[in-house]
Structure 1
Amino acid sequence: MTSDQLIFEIGKVHTALKNLEAGEPLEGSEETKTSLTVKEAFRKGEVVCMLCGKGGFKTLARHLNTAHGMKPGEYKKQFSIPGKQPLAAKNYSDARRKMALDRGLADNLAKARGVRMANIEAKKTAPVKPAKPAKAPKPPKEAGAKAKTA
């Protein structure tokens, strides 16, 4: 192998590795989608991308945007993932939920919802004030009127 051929092959390997890191399929590979099921992709400790097969994510939304230029809704639609299925690992969701409960965020949310509903009800039951009739605009003063008084 000549040095030019070697440099060319190293360049191909480098390009292939960059594409793999970005989540793009290899050139010449016939399979563009991984053969993962939804259950296999959403594991307890990690989430695996069903487009490129890359795994180890706690949440998938950022990877979808950066590597594939895709929004979570499009991803769910493409793979028939239920709308209520979070794109996060179960352990991660549980840890975030526990942290929110420890901080009392659920109580704060309940209070805020109660205040909001009370405001909505108050607006519904408030008597409707009749609209005041619009005043007719005053006619502009004439310049001649000033001259007569002076």
Structure 2
Amino acid sequence: MAPTLLELTASIVSSHAAMSELSTEELVQEIQKVYATMQQLEGGVAEAAPAEEAKAPVISLKKAFQADQVVCMICGKGGMKTLTRHLAQVHNMKPREYRKQFNIPSTQALTARKFSEARKKMAQDRGLADNLAKARAVRAANIQQKKAAAEKPAKAKAAPRKKKA
């Protein structure tokens, strides 16, 4: 016996909810979206879902990016340190699309300011910038060696040898 749309929807949403934390409101929205999509697929109708781009921001840009947390301007979910994963999992959106939708300048990080500063300090304490500079210098030296090694045989083949008579 084939499973019904409701059973399939329940299975899909429960799998999603097991992997990511959803509020009650988000869970209800997810069930509705999945069920509507399943109905469209069953009916063979390939209608475009209402685009989330048309929605106005739930929160202002200034309030969305605070020192200790970031709030999603689409759904209003807050308490996050960074938005990238939330955008990909919940809204199926890339950071570039999110910036374009809400006219967020590229200079504005999609992370909480304190989180970014802590990561920067940790990288400096570990000397990651110095290690990166050293690795780049080694790589450049290796590339130069390969170029020099490739040029030597090419020059040797270019000069014809004279035959002894």
Identity of aligned residues (%): 54
Indicate conservation of the 8 Å contact 1:61/1:71, yes or no: yes
CA 1:125–1:53: 2 relative to 1, 3 Å:
same
Structure 2 equivalent of residue 42 of structure 1: 65
CA 1:85–1:15: 2 relative to 1, 3 Å:
closer
Matched, 1:65 2:88: yes
CA displacement 1:53-89 (0-9 Å, x = unmatched) = 1111100011111111111121112112223432110
Indicate conservation of the 8 Å contact 2:58/2:75, yes or no: no
Task: Report the structure, 1 or 2, having the larger helix content.
Answer: 2
Amino acid at match of 2:119: R
RMSD: 3.3
Structure 2 unpaired stretches of 5+:
1-22, 34-53, 158-165
Q: Quick one: distance in 2 between partners of 1:37 and 1:92?
A: 20
Structure 1 equivalent of residue 109 of structure 2: 86
Which residues of 2 match residues 1-150 of structure 1 at below 5 A? Answer: 16=25, 18-19=27-28, 32-123=55-146, 128=151, 129-130=153-154
Indicate conservation of the 8 Å contact 2:58/2:74, yes or no: no
Q: Quick one: distance in 2 between partners of 1:15 and 1:53?
A: 14
Structure 1 unpaired stretches of 5+:
1-13, 25-30, 133-150
CA 1:17–1:83: 2 relative to 1, 3 Å:
closer
